[in-house]
Amino acid sequence: MRRRLRDLLGRPAAPGDRRPRPRDAVLVVALVGAAVLEGTLRRDLAWPVASTLVAIALVATLPWRRSRPLLVVALTTLVGAGFQVAQAAAGTGPDGLATMLAVLLAPYALFRWGSGRDRVIGGAVLAGSLVVSVALGGEGVQGAVAGVALVGGACLVGAFRRERVAARASQLDAVRAAERESLARDLHDTVAHHVSAIAIRAQVAATDPDDASRVSESLDVIEREAQAVLTDMRSLVRQLRAPAGLEPSPGLAELVSLADPGPPTVTVRLDEAASPPDIVASSLFRIAQEAVTNARRHARGATAIDVTLTADADTVELVVHDDGAGARTSPGTGHGQGHGLQGISERAALLGGEVVAGPDPDGGWTVRARLPQRHDA
């Protein structure tokens, strides 16, 4: 029991940008306007001015509900409870504005963003406030149930939202890790091939160092292979840490093999001038493979899938287009995003490129990937 409590108290706050945002100012202005309007128009308020001022004080704390959730909960609870105590002492009974319900954003934010310690302390503060409210309000069981439903519901929604965001982040991390591991395997195969050639040529030159022509030829090969290694290694914009597999890395030949009579028919067209580095060629195949698979699975009524690869001096572009229908997701859209498309988007970003997917103006669906052919240090 102690261990569970210690683990609960030790949980960190939720990650993310929790600073006040411009929309918070808009929210406060709108709520202040609503409070003033309500306080002016309502005739059943015993203390209209005081009720309006209390509502304004409560909503003014909301911009800091993400960065200081416990403080905001404590302040709103203290102000609200103090106002109720003052009303009870004056014999006026509970009398508040409907605008004050916006303060439910505070317990929501506490369980959405707060640390474990904040949630425990804040939960106790909210429970105490409910007890005081029910005792002073005289609304009996119905009032208690309504209070618990409102405050508890806000807390539960915040906790569920936090868990959902965490689960989504974990899934995306797994996708990124898988792409990094796959990219690292491809890099391993490429580097191993070129380094083996360098070693062999160095051994050839060492067998007869007096043969100038043989030594010169070997040095030329070593230089070319070394440049190829550097090109492929510079294709990675960050260090990848993952175990390397032993299976050969696919390339343009495997991309051509995606052609299929169907149905749907898969046609592959390659620019003869396209000659990207091995690590880029492998990534192009992975992207095309995912795009074709996605089209086969989700494009309703598709009869043709066209895969086109073009290149210029600096970039290589892969376009996969199908003529089907059906709702699909795009890399970078966030909500509802498919893991396969997220994976190829992550792979392209690691190589300094990009992937864009979406409905085509002429019909169907298009996945377009652009990758740089050369990577300078």
Q: What is the pLDDT of residue 356?
A: 87
Asked if the model's pLDDT at residue 333 lies above 50, the reply is: no
- Domain with residue 299: its CATH number is 3.30.565.10
Q: What is the pLDDT of residue 261?
A: 82
Q: Give domain status of residue 227, yes or no.
A: no
Q: What is the pLDDT of residue 60?
A: 92
Average pLDDT, integer, range 63-92? 88
Around Cβ 167, how many Cβ atoms within 10 Å? 10
Average pLDDT, integer, range 290-297? 81
Asked if the model's pLDDT at residue 243 lies above 60, the reply is: no
Q: What is the pLDDT of residue 30?
A: 94
State how many domains the chain has: 2
Q: Give domain status of residue 62, yes or no.
A: yes
184-198, 308-322, 326-340, 361-375 — which is least confidently predicted? 326-340
Separation of alpha carbons 11 and 273, rounded Å: 56
Most confidently predicted of 238-247, 308-317, 341-350? 308-317
Q: What average pLDDT does the chain have?
A: 77
Q: Which of 121, 138, 155 is the last residue of a domain?
A: 138
> 134 and 262: one domain?
no
Instruction: For 179-221, write each residue's pLDDT tens digit.
Output: 666 666 666 656 655 666 666 666 666 666 666 666 677 677 6
Q: How many CA atoms lie within 13 A of 83 on its CB side?
A: 24
> 131 and 256: one domain?
no
Instruction: For 78-104, write each residue's pLDDT tens digit.
Output: 998 888 888 888 877 667 788 888 999
Q: Give domain status of residue 243, yes or no.
A: no
Q: Give domain status of residue 167, yes or no.
A: no
Q: Give domain status of residue 241, yes or no.
A: no
Q: Give domain status of residue 340, yes or no.
A: yes
Q: Give domain status of residue 32, yes or no.
A: yes
DSSP state of 63: G
Asked if the model's pLDDT at residue 287 lies above 90, the reply is: no
Asked if the model's pLDDT at residue 341 lies above 50, the reply is: yes
Query: Nearest 5 degrees, angle CA 59-CA 56-CA 102?
Result: 35
Q: Name the more confident of 22 and 248.
A: 22
Average pLDDT, integer, range 115-134? 86
Instruction: For 156-173, write each residue's pLDDT tens digit.
Output: 998 898 888 888 777 767
Report the percent of the chain where pLDDT is more than 70: 71
Q: Give domain status of residue 297, yes or no.
A: yes
With bands split at pLDDT 50, 70 and 90, how would you rate the model's confidence at 273?
A: low
| Position 129, amino acid | S
Q: Which of 94, 122, 138 is the last residue of a domain?
A: 138
Q: What is the pLDDT of residue 376?
A: 46
Q: Which of 138, 170, 185 is the last residue of a domain?
A: 138
Per-residue b or e along 221-243, where b marks 16 or more CB atoms closer than 10 Å to that residue's CB: bbeebeebbebbbbbbeeebebe
Instruction: For 12-54, write each residue's pLDDT tens digit.
Output: 888 777 888 899 999 999 999 999 998 898 888 888 899 899 9
The four Cα atoms 96, 100, 103, 104 give a dihedral, to 10 degrees, of: 80
Domain, as residue range, for 343:
252-372
Around Cβ 90, how many Cβ atoms within 10 Å? 11
